[in-house]
Amino acid sequence: MEYYPVMTLGRRGVNFITRLGGIFVMIGRFVVALKDIPRSVRLIFEQLYAIGVQSLPLIIVIAIFVGAVSAWQAAYQFKFIGAPLRYLGQAVGKAVVIELAPVLSALVFAGRVGAGIAAELGTMRVTEQIDALEAMGINPMRYLMMPRVLACLIMVPLLVVFSNFIAILGGLSVAVVGVDISSETFLEGFKSSFQVTDFVNGLIKAGVFGLVIGLIGCYEGFNTKGGAQGVGVSTTTSVVISSVMILILDFVFTVLLFRL
């Protein structure tokens, strides 16, 4: 009896390694499938629309509040350490561009899009639609996986560009209305500290997150077993794993990209 936890842990470990291996294999398949972009243009545009454009409203709402809360928090901390409020734009700008917009957008995206991909492909798996594609000589990696992963890879950075912009506006509004500093002061602070490399590095992180969300959603979807319950499990698993991977990779890439 007392071996059970150990065995469960062992099995979990094996599952995790299998999954990691599977995801690496999928990266390879994705790269191979990229050569079929020319004849998959329609499929890619469908996904860009479904995955990207339709996520925009949600990303905007999130961004407004991310900017707003970070302005309030920064002002609160400035008061605590007695820093001058004219640096507020700087603090909010850095936090949003480097960290908050990429990570929070990615987490929301994992919940909306990653889960959607896993559920859709999982349903196709358990209802034999993926078998039917293969039976017709259509490669599911090209037809289903590549357009989705590519759309995630393109759309997460694009959404983060929007998110940056909106979040700064959110922060600005709170600064003007709640903290009582002028918009000129806030924007000057923001401009004085803005660096293109920060912005680009934030987008690089966003691209990595997008790739990870797409790959994990597809992997979990393709490997769904059982019926409706299996689809539920895949969906949840894809969100959990993507979210954890986003936070781990965020740390890794932050250390790599932003040298102290």
Partner 1 sequence: MNECLIKIEDLHKSFDSNKVIDGLTLSIGRGESIAIIGQSGTGKSVLLKHLIRLLSPDRGRIYFDGKDIAKLQGENLVAMRRRYGMLFQSAALFDSLTVAENVGLGLHESGDYRKSDIDIIVQDKLEMVGLSGSADKYPAELSGGMRKRVGLARAIAAGPEVLLYDEPTTGLDPITADVINDLIVSLNQRLLVTSIAVTHDMASAFKIAERIVMLYEGRIAFDGTPEQIKISSNPIVRQFVTGRATGPIQVR
CA dihedral 51, 103, 195, 183 (to 10 degrees): 90
CA dist 214 and 207 (Å) reads 11
Q: Does 129 bind partner 1 (CB under 8 A)?
A: yes
> Which range of residues in 7-15, 60-68, 126-134, 157-165 is near partner 1 by CB under 8 A?
126-134
Q: CB under 8 A: which stretch of 23-31, 65-73, 131-139, 148-156 binds partner 1?
A: 131-139
Q: Report how many residues bind partner 1 under the rule CB under 8 A.
A: 15
Q: How far is the CB of 133 from partner 1 (least distance, A)?
A: 8
Is residue 25 involved in binding partner 1 (CB under 8 A)? no
State yes or no: residue 136 binds partner 1 (CB under 8 A).
yes
Count of all residues that appear for the chain in the document = 260
Tokens describing residue 90: 């700087």
Using rule CB under 8 A, residue 38 touches partner 1: no
Least Cβ distance, residue 124 to partner 1 (angstroms): 8
**Can residue 134 be called a binding residue for partner 1 (CB under 8 A)?**
yes
Q: Is 81 in the site for partner 1 (CB under 8 A)?
A: no
List residues near partner 1 by CB under 8 A: 39, 124, 127-129, 131-139, 143
